[in-house]
Chains A and B, each alone.
Chain A
């Protein structure tokens, strides 16, 4: 949600690409970054393969940076959902136009965020 809000006005990023591999995110090397993230979070058997694809496309420094980003957000989501962090009313209102498109309104944790404030 907050990442979606921060990307508003960024014409280079297609938000729908963040939830579907069938849609081009518009971000350079977005496809290999997302496939690696998918494999890491889902414990996919293709972890080594997707990591090597990212390595070939962007180099080993990018692999490490992407691994650290994945690790960071595996943490942040647990803080957010473990504490029922509320969303401010402005972000709630402004995000309506794309929340449904992305399907995130169907997440059960929506109740934790909207059940407050």
Chain B
């Protein structure tokens, strides 16, 4: 994977951001700009742009503008719902969204992957009052439209892949473990979103190995401190899970 070395130059700023963070953010920008399984690079950047439009709308800031590609109406609405109206995301809404023109369960999960990763990086910037990184230019390419084998209904709204059902092409997504978290499995209809999730989770929070370890992670906040903050963010978002 190539990276844009000049992007996310926190070394010039006020805050001591460890290098693993901008490295992961640059990989994210390359992932964002590349064609996925169900959306082109231009469409993925438009999803990211819509994410920023939704955030601006909620915050009362000027509209930062649309992205380079036209999205299905249901995709645009989904981005705004996930950013600005999360407590009212429901099963009925999900079913309606994936049944809309230009959408499917796989389109939705890839869209969700773009939204949550761009949102997370932008939230890091906003928390530190750092200007948002400009969105990248799209990388040419066509979606592969490959639906992973081994997916089936496992309790979440979208079908998922259990560790025992992984095939060779996505064998790495759970890090070789025989178990995985429900959050990682929830994105497995789009395996690259699981890889993206793990990469940014490691940079922003803890590695999956650190999560499962009883040892205090080698980070600045202690485990109780980070769990306190995590619980408060979840409560403010009215996230029951």
Contacts and interface: CB of A to CB of B under 8 A. Distances in A.
B146 interface: no
Interface in A84-117: 84-87, 102, 104, 107-113, 115-117
Q: How large is the interface on A (under 10, 10 to 19, 20 to 34, 35 or more residues)?
A: 35 or more
Nearest to A29: B225
Given A30-B228, A107-B240, A64 B128 contact: yes
A79 to B, nearest CB: 5
A73 B116 CA distance: 10
B15 to A, nearest CB: 5
Interface string B79-121: 0001100111111001000000000000001001001110111
A78 B235 contact: no
A33 B228 contact: yes
Nearest to A42: B236
B225 A67 contact: no
B11 interface: no
Classify the secondary structure of B's interface with A. helix
B196 to A, nearest CB: 10
Nearest to A106: B238
Contacts of B140: none
A76 interface: yes
B94 to A, nearest CB: 7
A86 B82 CA distance: 18
A82 B112 contact: yes
A94 to B, nearest CB: 15
Given A33-B225, A41-B233, A81 B241 contact: yes
A79 B187 contact: yes
B209 interface: no
A80 B241 contact: yes
B186 A1 contact: no
B158 interface: yes
A108 B93 CA distance: 14
B182 interface: yes
B167 interface: no
Interface of B: 14-18, 21, 58-59, 82-83, 86-91, 94, 109, 112, 115-117, 119-121, 123-124, 126-129, 155-158, 182-183, 186-187, 197, 200-201, 203-205, 219-222, 224-241
Q: Which 9 A-B pairs have the closest CB atoms?
A: A75-B120, A67-B127, A71-B124, A77-B239, A83-B186, A18-B231, A73-B233, A65-B220, A80-B241
18 contacts: A3-B231, A6-B227, A28-B225, A33-B225, A40-B126, A51-B129, A66-B229, A68-B124, A69-B226, A77-B233, A78-B86, A82-B86, A83-B158, A83-B187, A102-B235, A107-B240, A112-B241, A113-B241
Given A65-B221, A80-B239, A109-B89, 4 more contacts: A7-B224, A33-B229, A41-B232, A83-B112
